[in-house]
């Protein structure tokens, strides 16, 4: 069972099922939300249990291809969740998980939107222009 929380502890959670390996998203929206590219895992939404949610707030993700909303802590500002309606899984910011996670990085997506201030790493991982390419392959 995985556990995680925001920086200040006003949002704490556990995941009662398996986590997907980490995907790195380079889209403009994730870069603005996280301050850089994002690294997220995902779990079935029914496996995500909120243990403390006094700081949890949701906003619509304005340019999301999936019409998603984003969850964050209103007390410390930590980015926590990306929730696309109608999908089985909710994304969880990998950096909010307690270690050890047992996860590895699986792929990069939205590489066509990567920031001009960094180079994509030569890590040998698959690269996709959009997220759906990975979802169909997994």
CATH code of residue 103: 2.170.150.70
CA distances to 45, 87, 116 from 93, in Å: 14, 17, 23
Residue 63 confidence (pLDDT) = 72
Q: What is the mean pLDDT of the chain?
A: 92
* pTM exceeds cut of 0.85: yes
In a domain, residue 106? The reply is yes
DSSP strand pairing (105-109 vs 127-128): parallel
Is 55 a domain residue? yes
Tell me which residue range forms the domain holding 11.
2-117
User: Which pLDDT does position 125 carry in this prediction?
Assistant: 97
Q: Encode pLDDT of 11-37 as tens digits.
A: 999 999 999 999 999 999 999 999 999
Instruction: Name the residue among 43, 35, 44, 46 with its Cα closest to residue 94.
Output: 43
In a domain, 56, yes or no: yes
Does the pLDDT at position 137 exceed 60? no
* Per-position b or e across 85-108, b if 16+ CB within 10 A of its CB: eeeebbbbbbbbbeeeeebeebbb
Token look-up 């997506």 returns 109
Domain count, the chain: 1
75 within some domain? yes
């Amino acid at each position: 069972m995985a556990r995680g929380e925001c920086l200040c502890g006003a949002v704490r959670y556990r995941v009662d099922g398996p986590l997907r390996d980490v995907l790195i998203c380079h889209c403009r929206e994730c870069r603005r939300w996280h301050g850089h590219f994002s690294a997220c895992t995902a779990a079935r939404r029914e496996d995500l249990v909120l243990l403390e949610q006094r700081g949890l707030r949701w906003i619509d993700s304005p340019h999301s291809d999936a019409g998603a909303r984003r969850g964050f802590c209103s007390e410390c500002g930590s980015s926590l969740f990306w929730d696309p309606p109608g999908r089985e899984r909710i994304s969880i910011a990998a950096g909010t998980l307690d270690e050890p996670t047992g996860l590895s990085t699986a792929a990069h997506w939205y590489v066509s939107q990567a920031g001009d201030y960094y180079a994509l790493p030569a890590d040998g991982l698959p690269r996709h222009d959009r997220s759906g390419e990975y979802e169909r392959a997994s």
